[in-house]
Structure 1
């Protein structure tokens, strides 16, 4: 059966706190509903200082999802590693792993927005070295044993639920990211379909004598919305998808490779491009994908429309994928 993902980044341009709170609670109700109907994964992510209220605290959101669900995994894709204190992050992830019974999956990236580094007073030029320190520290901290850290000896408790540690992947689209993952014996999550980078990662595994694996997006990984009348839905809600696509495009330089990178400047171009797709249940099933990523609240999508999409996906698509 294909992997099924419901993605939330809680973007809501211009929303007041009361509206944002309602959207956050709706997302938790959606996660609970999806969990009850066999969705595999809830995916969330991290960005800071965005004018459209992009979620900045993915682990806090993950904890709330774990409290509202029983089976679904939560993937943080991605945490911007160098912006976090390594010891505090080790504690936070261990607690979430314990709380969820091992359902936390984390992709650690270094980000691509200097503005986010400036916000926290972190040197963007040192992001590679900071990421190395973060990952090495997490792996040592989760043993529960004392270890040297910045000139002193520290010990982190409690140990996580998962042995030897919570599932941690290194994300990115560069050789440096692939090399980092191989050196540490961590799985690698390319940010797009990049077979040449997978090959490079495997070469580095052999060089370092480590073991690992790759979780790579397929050549086509569209963000989906399910509607009975796609033409009507594009006309009414296409601007929400375009807002998110244009936000990503404004952040990502030419060298950034991403499965959701769009060059569209109008709703019509976005629809033709295929990164975001609004499909009927039948057309959704007919895609034949290995992974279905539903994005019910994309770009400030009205909550009631998000629910319509989720209901159609869970009631008319998922059961047929299982068959």
Structure 2
């Protein structure tokens, strides 16, 4: 059976405080509904200062999801590690791990938007060193024992629910990220299908003498929306998909690769490209993909349309995959 994901970044370019509050509540309703129908994980991410109100606080959102669900995991993919205080992040993750009974999955990346570092007063040039410090601190903090942090003795309590520590992966699509994951003995989660990087990660593991594994994305993992009439959905709501695609494209430059890569400039180009796909339930059930990523509120999608997508997926796709 395919691994199933419902993704939320809570973007709404035309939001008012009231409409954005409503969108957040709808996301929790959909997470609860997905939980009851056997979806594997809710996925969310972190971005700051984006004009379209992109979610900046994934762990706060994760806590709300855990309060509204019983079994579904929440994957934060990814947290921008160097923007966080390491001790406070260790505490926050430990509390969420306890609250959820071990349902939190954290992918630690370093981000790809220098403006986010500038806004938080963090030196972009030190991001690698800061990420190393973060991973080292999390590993030490979750033991519950005293350790040395920036020249002083500290202790983080409570210990997390998951032992030896909550699931933590190193994200990225660079050799530095693969090397970092290998050095710390942590799983590696590339943001794109890069088999040569997986091979490099395992060579580095052997060199460092560490354990670990690579969670390599499939060569194609499109963002999905389910509709009984894809032509209508593209005609009425295609601009929402295009908004997100163009936002990601605006964040890419030489040497910087965003998580979603699209070169489309029109809805028709986006549809032909296949990064975002609107499928009927039958088409989705027949994909044969290793993972299915549903993105119901993409780009400010009206909540009712997002609801329809999730309901079709849960009621007419998931039963066939399970069967």
Q: Same fold (TM over 0.5)?
A: yes
Q: CA RMSD in A?
A: 0.7
- Post-superposition CA distance 1:284-318 (Å, at most 9, x none): 11110010000000000000000000000000000
Aligned pair count reads 323
Give me the whole-angstrom Cα distance separating, in 1, the residues matched to 2:121 and 2:258.
Answer: 26
Give me the whole-angstrom Cα distance separating, in 2, the residues matched to 1:260 and 1:37.
Answer: 27
Contact kept, 8 Å, 2:142 with 2:156, in 1: the verdict is: yes
What stretches of structure 1 of length at least 5 have no aligned partner? Answer: none
1:311 and 2:311 matched? yes
Question: How far off is 1:254 after superposition?
Answer: 3.9
Question: How far off is 1:117 after superposition?
Answer: 0.4
1:204 and 2:204 matched? yes
Question: How far off is 1:260 after superposition?
Answer: 2.3
Tell me what 2:125 maps to: 125
Give me the whole-angstrom Cα distance separating, in 1, the residues matched to 2:191 and 2:214.
Answer: 11
Question: How far off is 1:2 after superposition?
Answer: 1.0
- Post-superposition CA distance 1:100-133 (Å, at most 9, x none): 0000000000001011001110000000000000
Tell me what 2:168 maps to: 168
TM-score, structure 1 normalization: 0.99
Tell me what 1:40 maps to: 40
SS of the residue corresponding to residue 156 of structure 2 reads coil
- Post-superposition CA distance 1:138-179 (Å, at most 9, x none): 000000000000010000000000010000000000000000
Contact kept, 8 Å, 2:105 with 2:166, in 1: the verdict is: yes
Tell me what 2:272 maps to: 272
SS of the residue corresponding to residue 140 of structure 2 reads helix
Tell me what 1:101 maps to: 101
- Post-superposition CA distance 1:204-223 (Å, at most 9, x none): 00000000001111001000
Question: How far off is 1:14 after superposition?
Answer: 2.3
Tell me what 2:300 maps to: 300
The residue correspondences of 1:254-265 to structure 2 (distance < 5 A) are: 254-257=254-257, 260-265=260-265
Contact kept, 8 Å, 2:108 with 2:169, in 1: the verdict is: yes
When structure 1 is superposed on structure 2, of 61-70 and 246-255 the one drifting more is 246-255
Tell me what 2:291 maps to: 291
Give me the whole-angstrom Cα distance separating, in 2, the residues matched to 1:302 and 1:265.
Answer: 22
SS of the residue corresponding to residue 55 of structure 2 reads coil
- Post-superposition CA distance 1:79-106 (Å, at most 9, x none): 0000000000000000000000000000
Contact kept, 8 Å, 2:251 with 2:258, in 1: the verdict is: no
Give me the whole-angstrom Cα distance separating, in 2, the residues matched to 1:8 and 1:42.
Answer: 7
The residue correspondences of 1:1-323 to structure 2 (distance < 5 A) are: 1-257=1-257, 260-323=260-323
- Post-superposition CA distance 1:41-88 (Å, at most 9, x none): 000000000000000000000000000000000000000000000000
SS of the residue corresponding to residue 224 of structure 1 reads strand
Question: How far off is 1:275 after superposition?
Answer: 0.4
Give me the whole-angstrom Cα distance separating, in 2, the residues matched to 1:35 and 1:24.
Answer: 17
Give me the whole-angstrom Cα distance separating, in 2, the residues matched to 1:272 and 1:10.
Answer: 25
TM-score, structure 2 normalization: 0.99
